Chains A and B, each alone.
Chain A
Amino acid sequence: MRFLDTPFRQALAVLVVAYVLIDFGIPYIPPLFGVDSAPVPNTVVLQYLLTVLAGLLLWVSDNDERWTEFKRPIQEVLVRPDKRVGRAVLLVAVPVLVAFVTWGRVKPEVTAPPSFRSIHPAPPRSITFQGETMQLAGLENPLRSEGSLEAHNEVGKRVYYQNCLPCHGDALDGLGHYAHGFNPAPLNFQDVGTIAQLTESFVFWRVAKGGPGLPREGTPWNSAMPAWENLLTADEIWSVILFLYEQTGNDPRTWEEAGAEEGEH
């Protein structure tokens, strides 16, 4: 590995390996082991690479000897007469690369710009549901303590397949028939980052009030979720919530004694 005998080349190699791992390794390696993955968004690739680059700069400069060695090829290319051709190539290639990247970022595109929105709206303390005020803080699913869970689940299943299936999908993974038409996409209930993080009262609020009931803060939400309070009864909503948790194997978030809840981005 004579190529890797200078800090400059070593740093370059680490950067390239990091890029390959992030851009190709993350989407393609986990599926080999049966773990779901997907391409990493460009913003995250950039974020990761910048962090790696910062780490590399610290590594090459935390020691005088290494720092001098690291700078040597750069200085040589910039100064030595016999490197004139390489210098000329770099002086053209680097600005061209920068121009190309800049052009790529500013050229007009037909696709919508990346969305920069919060995904976790803060619920109100109370809501008005079909004319009645409901306190959300501390509210539990009433169906868990009355009647047969099985029967409630059956109702929930019927409600889900009659109303939610087209968007949230047969597998409750957010991949219904219409899902691809929406941005933001319908929620994937199988993901541990969705309903598993939420109390049932939060889910009730979201189902009942839908996109129109999202708070003013953080707009535009662009959610296509209907306000189901106009179409379903409270028991039907609670049933479908039971069904969501039962089917995905997730447990709803429970309330702390004092009513505190952890937040997560």
Chain B
Amino acid sequence: MRSLIGALAALVLLAEPALAQEAARRYGDFPVIGSRAAVWVAAQLHLFFAAFVLGVPMFAVVAEVIGIKSGEERFDKLAKEFTRLLLVSYSATAVWGAVLVFALVTLYPGVWTYLAEIFDVSMWVYVGIFFFESATLYLYYYGWDLWKEGRAKWFHWGLGILLNLWGTTVMFIANSWLTYMMSPPAEVTPDTAPGMVQFWSAFANATWMPINIHRLIANVVFGGAIVGAYAAYRFLMAETDEERAHYDWMGYIGNFVAISALIVLPFAGYWLGREIYEFNQQMGITMMGGFMSWLWIVQAFLIGVLFLTGNYYLWVGMGRIPGAERFQPYTKYMLVVLVLGVIVWATPHSMIASRDEISAMGGQFHPFLGVLGVMSAKNTAVNLMILTTFLSFLLYRRANKEPVVGWAGRGTMVQGALFGIAALVVLFYGVYGYFVPAIVRIGFSVYQVLAVLSTIVAVVVLDVLMLRGATSRGEIRWGQMPPRSQYALFILAVTFTWLMGLMGFARSGIRQHWHVFEVMRDTSVDAATPALGYASVVISVCVLIFLGMVAFIFWVGGLAEKPIITKAARGEGPHAALQPAGGD
């Protein structure tokens, strides 16, 4: 017994300095801005670039396969141009990733050691796949002209698919680390040694898959928006009509990709939100109803900006489509729906009001406008905005086409009826939601979403069938876009970037004073969740740094392409065949 006590005492004596040393090294200190802001900026910039680098290859391979199938070279050129933007951005992603890792290792060594002990194997796999991803990207880009014909072209396209696979896998792995910090498995407690945490249950935690899907779609949206901004920049700098035509078309594709993916993003976000509630109700309420709730009002505003700007770009674009004038009178009604939608969506439930205003309202809730502050109203507004945006796309697509099938008139009426029914379903459940208990109301949003999604699918199918062999009222006059439309593309890119930073903060901030929620407490000087004002400043600085770096990348991209385009414009170079794109 004595020897046992002696051994234990020796162990304690041996362990004590080690523990003290560990505690001392738990946090580092970063000058001026502090450790948290340093890690925050590094992580945010890494994520901005990573989102772009993961989103762009997805539509690059789509553009390439359209080019292969249709034989239209402009799609192939577009895909290559997308990929060229990737090259420099890829380096920036890696650089910021390295900065993030060094920041974590030096400033948060305790957290890093803890995570590394659980996720070490996945970290090695991550690095390995990153290596393969780099090699694939270089082969994909530099092999473009080498593997251009026949089966070699399909091999090249296969490289693009592989690039996406690597990229998606890398993202899924990294997502497991951050989602573990948000939603560790129930069996992990503050006393669980990291070595005892089961790898797979930590890896595939409650919010892992919802984040994967949400990010996958959001990356496409983000990539589309940044590509749109690139095209806008090149359009405004263009010296020839050919260049303007090309970049006008590219901007349209970027906007199309961004807005199309944006339409489905809220559904993925809704799933993520639900999973957060399922995991921990307190966390969910902190996010949606607690001190993070103002971010959702900011989000509503910013998404409102996206919807308004995306539609605006399409409406201005109608000016260059022969036949679009017959639809232009309707845009003002769509604008009214969108403006009302933004107003409803961004109406806060508890309002910022002075003492006098509060006493006039009889509380923080407005007796009349209060009904707009709850989810029934907001879900209704956003679904109607999605329907309106889809209608804008439809009219844009229809603008210069004249259907020749005999049932075109009836088909259009059916399409109109489908829109009407979907809008009625959305409104019905929106209003009915006020008269049923919350538990029933939650399910209503599913019906609203289903009505909108099924309408979109049915109308698209009808439209494709109806426009088979349609005659043209004239080619789209690519390049004849007023410059202000290009600023709309800039607004889209800036807003998406900002939104991503803000909502990323919401996702990460709901852990509050925990590194790993309810498992590993943040005991650093930065343990308090930052105030929204401070968070907005940090995120805005990140957005500025990112956009500054992106501007540099655009400029570099321009350096590489400029001589080719100029030669093409003069009809001298190998790209002399670069044509203003026709059709859409």
Contacts and interface: CB of A to CB of B under 8 A. Distances in A.
B358 A183 contact: yes
Interface string B382-409: 0000000000000000000000000000
B356 interface: yes
A37 B368 contact: yes
Given A58-B335, A59-B335, A197-B438, A263 B354 contact: no
Interface string A43-60: 110011001101100110
B535 interface: no
Contacts of A193: 349, 365, 370, 373-374
B366 A40 contact: yes
Contact of A55 (B335, B366, B434, B442): B335
A229 B355 CA distance: 30
A137 interface: yes
Interface string A229-258: 000000000000000000000010111101
A264 B364 contact: no
A183 B338 CA distance: 36
B332 A112 contact: no
A125 interface: yes
A125 B281 CA distance: 8
Contacts of B358: 115, 183-185
A125 B284 CA distance: 12
A256 to B, nearest CB: 6
Nearest to A27: B368
B369 interface: yes
B346 interface: yes
Interface stretch (A61-69, A77-85, A148-156): A61-69
Contacts of B482: 64, 67
B149 interface: no
A185 B438 contact: no
Nearest to B296: A265
A116 B370 contact: no
Given A63-B328, A193-B373, A260-B277, A120 B293 contact: yes
B363 interface: yes
Contacts of A86: none
B352 A41 contact: yes
A188 B512 CA distance: 30
11 contacts: A43-B352, A44-B347, A51-B343, A54-B305, A58-B315, A118-B350, A119-B364, A120-B290, A122-B282, A217-B291, A265-B297
A120 B285 CA distance: 8
B194 interface: no
Contacts of A9: none
Q: Per DSSP, are chain B's interface residues mostly helix, strand or loop, or mixed?
A: helix
Interface string A186-213: 1110011110110000000000000000
Interface in A104-120: 111-120
Nearest to B293: A265
A43 B331 contact: no
B363 A174 contact: yes
B437 A254 contact: yes
Interface of A: 26-27, 30, 35-44, 47-48, 51-52, 54-55, 58-59, 61-64, 67, 111-125, 137, 173-175, 180, 183-188, 191-194, 196-197, 217-218, 251, 253-256, 258-265
Given A55-B338, A263-B288, 12 more contacts: A26-B368, A27-B368, A44-B352, A116-B352, A118-B294, A122-B286, A174-B363, A184-B363, A187-B363, A188-B365, A262-B441, A264-B289
Size bin of chain B's contact surface: 35 or more
Contact of A43 (B281, B291, B304, B353): B353
Contacts of B293: 118, 120, 263, 265
A121 B338 CA distance: 32
A39 B351 CA distance: 12
B366 A264 contact: no
Interface string B367-380: 11111011100000
A218 B277 contact: no
A41 B357 contact: yes
Contacts of B94: none
B439 interface: yes
B359 A262 contact: no
Interface in B234-287: 273-274, 277-278, 280-287
A174 B370 CA distance: 16
B373 A265 contact: yes
Contact of A258 (B278, B284, B343): B278
Nearest to A113: B354
Contacts, number: 225
Closest A-B pairs by Cβ, 5 of them = A263-B288, A120-B289, A41-B353, A55-B339, A37-B368
A62 B368 contact: no
Given A120-B293, A253-B439, A114 B512 contact: no
Contact of B342 (A51, A61, A254, A263): A51
A107 to B, nearest CB: 14
B442 A192 contact: no
Given A62-B315, A137-B281, A265-B296, A114 B288 contact: no
Given A38-B362, A38-B368, A123-B285, A61 B484 contact: yes
Contacts of B289: 118-120, 122, 263-265
Interface in B304-341: 304-305, 308, 312, 315-316, 319, 328, 331-332, 335-336, 338-339
B351 A43 contact: yes
Contacts of A47: 346-347
A139 to B, nearest CB: 12
Given A41-B353, A260-B281, A191 B363 contact: yes
A124 B286 CA distance: 11
B371 A262 contact: no
B9 interface: no
B361 A262 contact: no
Contact of B288 (A51, A63, A251, A264): A264
B523 interface: no
A121 B348 CA distance: 16
Contacts of B127: none
B91 interface: no
B529 interface: yes
A217 B373 contact: no
Contacts of B357: 39, 41-42, 114
A59 B328 CA distance: 11
Given A217-B529, A260-B277, A264-B373, A114 B352 contact: yes
B458 interface: no
Nearest to A48: B343
Interface string B436-460: 0111011000000000000000000
Contacts of A112: 354-355
B360 interface: yes
Given A64-B319, A111-B356, A114-B353, A55 B308 contact: yes
Interface in B16-43: none
A265 B350 contact: yes
